[in-house]
Structure 1
Amino acid sequence: MFEQGDWGSAADWAVAPVDHSRLKHPVQALTAMVLVARQENAAAAQKVFTAVCAYRMGIAEDFDRLGEQAADWLGVGAEMEVALVLGVSVGTARKLISVGVTLDTRLPLVKAAFVAGELDFSRVRTIVDAVDGVSEATVSAVEAAIVDAALQRPPRALANEIARLLIAANPDDAAESRKKREKHSRTVKITPDSHGMAALFATMTAAEGVVVSTRIDEMAATVCRRDPRTPATLRTDAFVALINCETHLACRCETADCPFAHLPAAEPATVHLHVHVDVETLLGFADNPANLEGHGPIDPDLARRFAQDATWQAIVEETRSRCPAKAHPAGFVPTATKLLPPPVPSGIGGAIADIKAAIDADPKVLDGEFPDGHGGLDEPPPGALSYRPRKEVKDKVYAKYSTCTFPNCYVPVRKCQFDHIEPFDHSDPERGGWTIESNGHPACPYHHQAKTDGIFRVVRMAGDAIVWVSRNGAVGITIPEELGGSHEPEARKPVKLTRPAPAEDPPDDAIYDPTWWEQHMQSGDRPPTLADMAQLTDRRLAVIYRELGTHYEEHLAILAARDRHMPPPY
């Protein structure tokens, strides 16, 4: 990856630790804390301005490489590289750079206080946001007062004070800035939170904010005082009810004389959720993490709750990292077995660290598992020479990731594009990368275009790990959220997936005996679906359903064996 050159090691840049054994009085500890905070602020300033330096050099590099053609992408590669090395989203990196550029060009007094460690990044960002779109003359007139306020006030109070200063200095300028923000800054974002929760952020005009808050309060007031929910929970339920176009909340006091008992129950909203969960967890035989598309990991109990009232679409695949399926002679009836406890999860951090170590040890690892984009196949399968992927191929690829594969990009997979890792050759599709599962990954339009323009290249490793590599050697890695398999690049070798040649020895005659499925089921019968299994409450019936699934898998395996040994012509 990166060459250190004459910059030394990270230890050369480290802040000296505080010797806590020398602190004998609370005043000493508080004083030391203030000094450490100033060091932290000064270090944050250096990070910001170093990012600005990388950004400006990236712009020069883009212009030298592409000239005027790079106008739309000047600095984009640098923003992405900053995001990779800092482990943040591109949006966060862009904001970091924007803060530094604004301090450099418009706020010299704020910059000086930041570099000296007197202001933290939160206050600095508040200042930069507040003066965005305000004229240079107005900003210069109030900057000293802004710094004085920032030294004494927390971010929210500081934002209010800056607004007062700007309006007092130039009301017309403040009004023009407000109109620009009304046009360009209003937004709503929903982001995943921990423990199966999500966070919603909305930026709107002040008047709209008052209206929304009032409507939430009005909806929350449609229950009696004995409703057991807290005010915060009631407001949240009220907000969701408004989104679902409901007219009232259902009171939960459960008393006979509730004044709101006469109100009709609201019709539940129809939603479509895409949840990835293994069958054992769905049936209650295991407790492995599930994945909710557009959100991330959820606990198994929540996944089962979704399954009770959901439309399921199963994507069945046998990965090379798992044990192969076993086939038994016809008439074999499997017995129920006790499942072992789940393994201790290793997490994706260790897998990513292993891949980075392998890359450092041997850069040739970045050639990827299938450099030609053919997935180890000798002949292209159906649909491989068409640019648009077949639905089953796209579904299998998208099932492995919940978002765009660029690290720390949170665009949901369903809003991403199918990107060919080894580019598709429109003039000679057989020579270029094929449209197959092993040569595809989801990328949002922004990062897809960055790869297409050569700002980054993408490599697929064994275990479906996706590696993004920048022109300057910055590396970012994304692996599927389903853990447990090996993601070490050296752990596997390319596997030819072509149809095996007929065995020299004749096959076991047992494959021609009627299978259990052929003996006991009618033509056209199919095993229980995931939706059927999700509705089960009887554990004994669940075991029977599972055995039916096993019988059907054996049936398919024997049919495949018969097909392999069928004499030509096929």
Structure 2
Amino acid sequence: MFSYTDPIGDDAVLSSLGSSGIGEPARDALRLSRQAEARALLMAHRIGEAAYDDMLVFLSPGRQMMVRKHAEKAAVGEISLQLGLSRTKAGTWYQLGIALQQFPKIRMAYLAGDLSTHRMSVLIHAAEAASDIAPGAPTEPEAPDVDSPDVDSPETDTPETDFEDIALDLAERPTTDTVLRDALEELVISLDPDDATEAREEFGRAWENVAISNDSSGHINIDACVPAEFGVYLRDRIAALIAARICRRDPRTLGQQRVVAMAALMGTPGADLVCQCGDENCHPNGERDTTQPPNGAPAVPLTQPDRQADERDRADTEPTSDTALTPAAPWTLVLDPAGTAVPRLHGYGAIDPAHAEHLHDRSIEILLRNNVERGPWGRLVVTDRAAAPPVDPTGHGGHALPPPGALTYTPSRRLRDEIQQSDLTCRYPWCSRPAHECDLDHLVKFDHADPLVGGWTLPENIAPLCRPDHQRKHLALWLPTMHLDRSITWTNPTTGRQLTTYPR
């Protein structure tokens, strides 16, 4: 279709393409670009490797660390000069090239165009961490003593799947790099929680910082690396302050509102977050979408008992004053009473148990109700790629009679928690919105006129969808089919293309 050598001709081809058939050639072009970049990165590594070796020969013997440091700088500098890259990007490519030599399966997938450079780097960093914790993990079981009379056979059930296989399986799913990173971090923590704690502390010592540098046109850049709970707290407080004081008609962008909100929270003189809609009778709280309150409340309107429960359990449900913006329990943790599942911090993701224990006294805690059976990696892993059977297409979950609550539009708090604990994010492809910030959508529409015939309020018919994707689902751009394992296949009715998202 494209020559890739004639810009004018390729531009003419682009102008003549219809929108309905452009998806497949666009994906092909994207794959080719990834393949090309993979080869460029690995050739950059070879360039750097040669410069590194030459520098080692040139430098006189001395302090080993200093010699290697100079050799590495020479390698990065040579890559930068030959490829016209910044030193920062040249250094990143060089280090990734070194790491790729240790993980051949990831390297082959990268060369095949299955992974972008950034997605590959997410896999590499996780694979390196897993190797540091338990080389060759999951650890093979000890061989039995063949001389023991209690052992019938020396054969063992050695796991056939290694970390690279699991990582690549997760990377194939239509998830964002943020969701992929969180899933891999959960795996790494599950391998050795104590080592994960040490890694977190070492990362903090190396990278925690707030850098404030001058920009142009009277502005300054603020770049910070802070502990997860600090960032979650600041983000939630900024969102709560905007929700309390700004209505939808405010002309500023959300980014501009966040800047003023952060300054107001810091007590900066003159930084008062006031709605600029121009309406003297502006009521920000009245303008808010009450079907989607903050901090994990359900997307559908609350019944009075549920509303009272939310007010008791969540300290900042409806912030209307500055004091309401500082809840007694600023974080929400999801914990497994059995200690099997990795703890999770709402607004961030998987954290090590020691980190969760540190936040214990200052957090709301949600306990997992039904802990799923887990393998050696601490989470369910897809080993059988055959799709599970679909659920009842009527939206009745296979029930002849509606179970309690099935004919009530608003999901119960118990059902809401169950769905949010099973489905950690929005179930639309390529979305990373946390489930506790999403709508709980009936995949088969609930019939308010006759609830008995519509889709029922059951786990088999409920999935979290963020507000924009909820609206897209109702536009029928992609049609969902839930399966018995809670995987959801999304089908494009025009092209027939399918994407499958998974719980957790």
Task: Tell me the TM-score range normalised by the shorter chain.
Answer: 0.3 to 0.5
Higher normalized contact order (CA 8 Å, seq sep 6+, divided by chain length): 1
TM-score (norm 1): 0.37
> Which protein is bigger by CA-based radius of gyration?
1
